[in-house]
Amino acid sequence: MTPTLESLRLGDPALAPVADRVLAGERLDRDDALVAATTTDLLGVGRLANLVRERLHGDATFFNINRHLNPTNVCVASCALCAFSVPFRRAAEGWTYSVEEAVRVAERDVDETVTELHIVGGLHPKLTVDYWEALFRALRERFPRVHMKALTMVELDFIAGASRIGLDELLERLKAAGLGSCPGGGAEIFASRVRDLICDHKTGGERWLEVARCVHGHGLKSNCTMLYGHVETPAERVDHLLALRALQDETGGFQCFIPLAFHPENTRLAHLPPTGGRLDLQTMALARLVLDNIPHVKAYWIMLGEKIAQVAQHFGADDLDGTVVDERITRAAGGKAGRGMARARLESLIREARRIPVERDTLYRPVGREELSSPDREAPRRAAPGPAGP
In the complex, the residues that contact ligand V47 under the rule CB under 6 A are 81-83, 152, 183-186, 188, 223, 225, 227, 258, 260, 262-263, 267, 300, 303, 321, 329-330, 333
The candidate with the shortest Cα–Cα distance to 77, out of 189, 172, 204, is: 204
Which CB sits closer to ligand V47, 280 or 376? Answer: 280
How far is Cα 140 from Cα 152, in angstroms, rounded to an integer?
Answer: 19
Q: Is 299 left (phi over 0), alpha (psi -120 to 50) or beta?
A: beta
Which CB sits closer to ligand V47, 50 or 152? Answer: 152
Of the CA atoms within 13 Å of residue 375, those in its CB half-sphere come to 4
Which CB sits closer to ligand V47, 35 or 74? Answer: 74
Task: Map 245-275 to HEC letters.
Answer: HHHHHHHCCEEEEEEEECCCCCCCCCCCCCC
Least Cβ distance, residue 343 to ligand V47 (angstroms): 17
Which CB sits closer to ligand V47, 177 or 258? Answer: 258
Strand order of the β-sheet with 222-228 is 222-228, 254-261, 296-297
Least Cβ distance, residue 181 to ligand V47 (angstroms): 9
For residue 13, give every residue at least 6 positions away whose Cβ sits within 8 Å of its Cβ, in sequence order, or none.
none
For residue 15, give every residue at least 6 positions away whose Cβ sits within 8 Å of its Cβ, in sequence order, or none.
35, 36, 39, 41, 44, 45, 48
**Measured in whole angstroms, how far is the alpha carbon of residue 289 from the centre of its chain?**
17
Which CB sits closer to ligand V47, 194 or 333? Answer: 333
Which CB sits closer to ligand V47, 239 or 319? Answer: 319
Least Cβ distance, residue 78 to ligand V47 (angstroms): 12
For residue 269, give every residue at least 6 positions away whose Cβ sits within 8 Å of its Cβ, in sequence order, or none.
80, 81, 198, 230, 231, 262
How far is Cα 56 from Cα 292, in angstroms, rounded to an integer?
Answer: 10
Q: What is the dihedral of CA 53, 211, 330, 271, to 10 degrees?
A: -100
How far is Cα 66 from Cα 87, in angstroms, rounded to an integer?
Answer: 28
For residue 327, give every residue at least 6 positions away whose Cβ sits within 8 Å of its Cβ, in sequence order, or none.
68, 302, 335, 337, 339, 340
DSSP at 124? -
3 state DSSP class of 319: strand
Least Cβ distance, residue 329 to ligand V47 (angstroms): 5
Q: Which residue is nearest to ligand V47 (CB)?
A: 185
Q: How far is CA 76 from CA 33, 59, 64, 164, in A?
A: 36, 44, 32, 17
Q: How far is CA 193 from CA 2, 196, 198, 200, 286, in A?
A: 43, 5, 9, 9, 22
Which CB sits closer to ligand V47, 106 or 199? Answer: 199
Which CB sits closer to ligand V47, 132 or 257? Answer: 257
Which CB sits closer to ligand V47, 152 or 203? Answer: 152
Which CB sits closer to ligand V47, 39 or 73? Answer: 73
